[in-house]
Structures are given as C-alpha cells and as structure tokens.
Structure 1
C-alpha cells in the first residue's frame, strides 16, 4: 500500500489488538556465559588502615580527560601511610595496565611480605 511505518509502531499496534507476529525477530546479543566465579572474601572489610607497611594495598583504575584524549591511571596505594607503591599510565583500561602495575608493586616486596590487595 506504500505506507511507511517503523517496526516499533507496528509491534505496538499489533500488541494493542492482540496480534502476534508469525516469525520472531533476531535474538539480541547476550554475553552471559554461565554462573560468575565466586567472589573472594572481603578481607579488608572496609577497614583501610594497616599497622605496618605492605600489609594492605588498595587499587583502582581512574580515567582522566586530557587535551590529547583519555588517559588511564592504575595505582596501588599502601594503607599504612597512603603512599603509592607503584602505578602505570596508559591510553586503554586493559589487563596489561593493571598487570604491569601489580608486577611493579610486587617487585618492591621483601621476602615474606604478602599484602592483601583490595580492589572494587
């Protein structure tokens, strides 16, 4: 008949009149691949104070907008004195950024030091 209408409008009209389409539309993408891994215990329990260096570290990923685009900072902070242990800066928030920071931070540890690392 030459009438042009959006698919959503047609679906609304069909629903209003109790009509069902003969064929279903394509499925939407879903990234769900099963049950997620069990979350680790919250050892810090929101108490971000340490009695000695290298007992509790906290980390997060922060995005900055700069004239050249976006930059991402991935630091690890020691909760004993609030000082950064290590950090990496990159143009993409990927695993390489976080893993590089962790490798740098772990290289500062002495024998026997095993800090708890807390992240969101």
Structure 2
C-alpha cells in the first residue's frame, strides 16, 4: 500500500513538472551579459505627446505549424503600435529591424525613451549601438520584475485575448498566421476604440488632435 502511494505521488509530481515545462513563458533573459540601463520609466507609463516614452518586448505565439514571435513598439501616449516585426526566430534582427523601422517614421527632433526588460536582445551590441546612433535613451526594468513593463504586457494580454486564445489554428500556415497578427495590429491602431481616448482608436485620437 505504501509503495503504491509513493508511486502515485511520483507520477503526480512528474505530471506537474511536465505541465510546467510545457507552458513556460518565453523568456529572452540570458543572465547579466552587459551593463543594464537605469529604470528611467519607473512604472510611469504616462506621456504628454507621441514618441516621448515608448515600450518594447517580445511575445511568443505557438500554433500547430510552429512558433511565431512579435516585437512591437508601444507608445505610452495613446497605446499606438507605430512599428512591429514578426518572425519565426527570436534573434537580434527581430528587434533591431523593428527599431530601424520605428526610427524611419520619427521626426528629426523626436528622441524617445525606449523601455524594455533585461532580455538579451536589449543588451547586445546591435541594439545598444542603434540606440546611441539614433540618440534614444535606454530604460530597463529591474531584474525579474514584470510590473516594470506592465503596459507592454497589457497590450500582449489584450491582443491574445482578442485574436489568439480560444481559436483553433490547426491547418493555419505560419505565413497566414503572420498576416493575422499584422491585420490585428492595423485594426488595433485604426479601429479599436479605447475609453481613455474618448472612445476613439489611437489613429482617430491623433487625428482629432491634429497630430496626423
């Protein structure tokens, strides 16, 4: 009887470990590979104008056809996603090309604070060199403190609730899923209303202020 109980408990623990490994959230943290930037944002996600304070991070989508990674810029002014990249590989090019694209859309005098977690992508030379070249200010969350970038995590949560969770992606190719992500973000920017913006979308809100 005792032996059977021990065997049952062992199988139960093994299942728990397997479940935890299966649902572990993607993390780009690889240790302290370079000097971290100061946490300038310090959980103050309010901005008086566009491209003043922006957030970034990487999130993973897993579908039967494979894994897809999204790297966006989230503007603290109104939640607009002015730039994003999607790839099947969470490598340096995913974030570097996103930053290059974002920079191409800014005015010469716009030099935002760019806040991220301590993921390796934001500690590698490619990212740091671009930040310096563009004159942007780096800001980083404290180690293992997700609330420091909660506004960006909030976007990921809303996005996945609205276009990912509860849907069946069996038979959907990677290429089609990338289109689904792109279409969602375009809709999010142009059509999805927010109470905090007077029930306008980010694009409509900026148009109402004469910003675009």
TM more than 0.5: yes
User: Which residue in the other structure is 2:100 paired with?
Assistant: 103
**Is residue 60 of structure 1 aligned with residue 57 of structure 2?**
yes
Structure having the higher Rg: 1
**Is residue 90 of structure 1 aligned with residue 87 of structure 2?**
yes
Task: Tell me how many residue pairs correspond in the alignment.
Answer: 88
Tell me how far apart the structure 2 counterparts of residues 47 and 68 of structure 1 sit (CA, whole Å): 38
Tell me how far apart the structure 1 counterparts of residues 71 and 61 of structure 2 sit (CA, whole Å): 11
> How far off is 1:36 after superposition?
4.8
1:77 to 70, 74, 78: 74
Long gaps (5+) in structure 2:
1-29, 118-212
Tell me how far apart the structure 2 counterparts of residues 36 and 100 of structure 1 sit (CA, whole Å): 21
> How far off is 1:74 after superposition?
0.4
TM-score when normalising by structure 2:
0.39
Q: Does 39-48 or 53-62 show the bigger shift?
A: 39-48
Long gaps (5+) in structure 1:
1-30
The two structures, once aligned, show a CA RMSD in angstroms of 1.8
Query: Which structure shows the higher strand fraction?
Result: 1
Superposition misfits of 4+ residues, deviation over 3 angstroms: none
User: Which residue in the other structure is 1:28 paired with?
Assistant: none
TM-score when normalising by structure 1:
0.68
User: Which residue in the other structure is 2:123 paired with?
Assistant: none
Query: Which structure shows the higher helix fraction?
Result: 2
